[in-house]
Chains A and B, each alone.
Chain A
Amino acid sequence: MINYITLTYQVSGDDFTRAGEASSDVKSKLKQMGVSPEMVRKVAISMYEGEINMVIHAHGGIIKVTISPHEILMVLEDQGPGIPDVEKAMQAGYSTAPENIRSLGFGAGMGLPNMKKYTDEMDIKTKIGVGTTVTMKVKL
């Protein structure tokens, strides 16, 4: 029996209309696998926030999702500008998103705190000019 699956997604940084496709695919796969709706939603919301961040702040990146019997692991890796002050970025309401992002419905500075809220573990590794890796875990 296969007890874990890894899914890999290339997230484009140029196409905002397509942001969320990876999260959407993971959501429907988890649903199909019979994961409880509450857990599916936790994963969907946190991954979608991360995917949107990748597109609006970091010109896209790669998302790897590992589904195992006891947890779902999401690793979002980008080669964007990095986050100068992670502690500040984690605060609700802190955003560097420009006005044009706000007119697209994002940039309230709620994404990172929301990802923290919906996951059991979250870790951010970031280096200025090199990129950011966000790792999140949801226990089943």
Chain B
Amino acid sequence: MIWGEMLLDREVHTACGSDMMSDVLAFVKDQSVLLTGLCNMQAIRTAEMMDIICIVFVRGKVPDEAMIQLAREREIVLLSSGHRMFSACGLLYEKGLRGGAPYR
């Protein structure tokens, strides 16, 4: 947990995973969690534009202070996991998170 303890009562049902923000912007619809190995400001910006409320950084990526600051302003919860993308997605899927409607 990097930031957002006070927002832990929020409920999420759907997630998406990608390192490409281009794809998140083009293919994601109404998902509330983003799993990504991309650790830069644009990951937070993309989440902001898409109304994503939680980002899980995979492969042990840890956001810097500027990213945390932006996430704080936009109330986006930040988590970091040592798992790789596939395993991190699998763990959340097992707990009931889904991908949402298929594309098209």
Contacts and interface: CB of A to CB of B under 8 A. Distances in A.
A17 B21 CA distance: 14
Given A49-B25, A107-B22, A114-B26, A17 B51 contact: no
Interface of B: 19-23, 25-27, 36, 38, 40-43, 45-46, 48-51, 66
Interface in A74-124: 92, 102, 104-111, 113-114
B21 A105 contact: yes
Contact of B49 (A44, A104, A108, A110): A44
Interface of A: 16-20, 23-24, 27, 37, 41, 44-45, 48-49, 52, 92, 102, 104-111, 113-114
Contacts of B20: 102, 105-106, 108
Contacts of B42: 16-17, 19-20, 52, 104-106
A53 to B, nearest CB: 11
Given A17-B40, A20-B42, A105-B38, A45 B50 contact: yes
Contacts of A113: 26
Contact of B23 (A49, A104, A110): A110
A110 B25 contact: yes
Task: Give me the 10 closest cross-chain CB pairs, A-B, nearest first.
Answer: A108-B22, A20-B45, A105-B21, A110-B26, A105-B38, A44-B49, A17-B41, A114-B26, A110-B22, A48-B49
A105 B50 contact: no
Nearest to A114: B26
Contacts of A19: 41-42, 45
A52 B42 CA distance: 9
